[in-house]
Amino acid sequence: MRRMTEWIIRVFKELPRAARLSIFLCRCPLCEKDLVLEGEEAICRQCLGKIASIDPNAPGSPGCPVCPVCNRPLGYKSERCGECLTAPPLFRRHVSYGRYEEELRELILRYKYGGVEKLKHLLAGFYMEVYQRKLAPGEPRGFDFIIPVPPDSGRKREFNPVSEIVKIFSKRSHIPLLSGRLVKVKKTLPQAGLTRSQRLNNLNGAFRLLGPSPSMSGKRILLVDDVYTTGTTIKKCTELLIKEGADVVAMTLARSV
């Protein structure tokens, strides 16, 4: 039996890749095409190529200017967008990989709510790409900790979507992950669909920092979430960290425009 098993494994490995995939065929979660090309593991090359970075200097980017503070795409060159000029955020800077639309939006939703867990490595790669291109060059001292935005404690999920991706990003970037210090203590309505004022009120008192250790005083924190819409969630979490003396930079996968 053992020899037979070893023979089957050896023959399987010697088969061409396309033949192996036909036995355990995977499909792109966006377009349902078979993943048969080299390097296609989570989505197909065609769908991956449609996801454009917000970075105006990135390959495939439309090249429009962005606000250097909140990363909002602009139709003109400016030191800051109107919102950051009139109501400057407490975080020092926010960067995002792409626009929260079409393929990128679908990927995030499929991962968070559709249980397509294999997408976490692809999305972690997006975090790593935006970190290396937009943050690392301007942060010679690096970051002391990564802190993920926490989910509702009462929301029933088998896993914490953001934390699962951030764990992979933390290992790749070599930035320590600090979990459990920032927690969500109040169950809130989903931010999607709420007005701006409702979003602000919805998250009042929703987050809390637990314990005095490690101290946040003087620490450089990379605050990570999946989506930035009005920025209310990021801003509420930043406020708590700033009060403890932290320097906060935020990073997300996607930004609404």
Burial class (CB in 10 A: 0-12, 13-18, 19+), 223: buried
Amino acid (one-letter) located at 188: T
Q: Is 93 in a helix, a strand, or coil?
A: strand
**Tell me: the pLDDT tens digits for 62-82?**
567 888 899 988 877 778 899
Average pLDDT, the chain: 81
pLDDT class of 203 with cuts at 50, 70, 90: confident
pLDDT class of 155 with cuts at 50, 70, 90: low
**Tell me: the pLDDT tens digits for 237-251?**
999 999 999 999 999
**Tell me: the pLDDT tens digits for 180-202?**
999 998 887 766 667 777 776 77
pLDDT class of 257 with cuts at 50, 70, 90: confident
Could you give phi then psi for residue 41, rounded to 5 degrees? -120, -40
Fold of 50-255: Rossmann fold (3.40.50)
What was the pLDDT predicted at 186?
Answer: 83
Mean pLDDT of 104-118: 81
Q: Which of 11-20, 112-121, 226-235 has the highest mean pLDDT?
A: 226-235
Q: Do 35 and 44 touch, CB atoms closer than 8 A?
A: yes
What was the pLDDT predicted at 234?
Answer: 94
pLDDT class of 12 with cuts at 50, 70, 90: very low
What was the pLDDT predicted at 199?
Answer: 73
Residue that has been written with the tokens 């101290």 in this structure: 215
pLDDT class of 53 with cuts at 50, 70, 90: confident
pLDDT higher than threshold 80 for residue 44 = yes
Quote the distance between the C-alpha of residue 233 and its chain's center.
14
Lowest mean pLDDT among 31-40, 54-63, 80-89, 166-175: 54-63
What was the pLDDT predicted at 5?
Answer: 45
Using DSSP bridges, classify how beta strands 182-184 and 207-209 pair: parallel, antiparallel or unpaired.
antiparallel
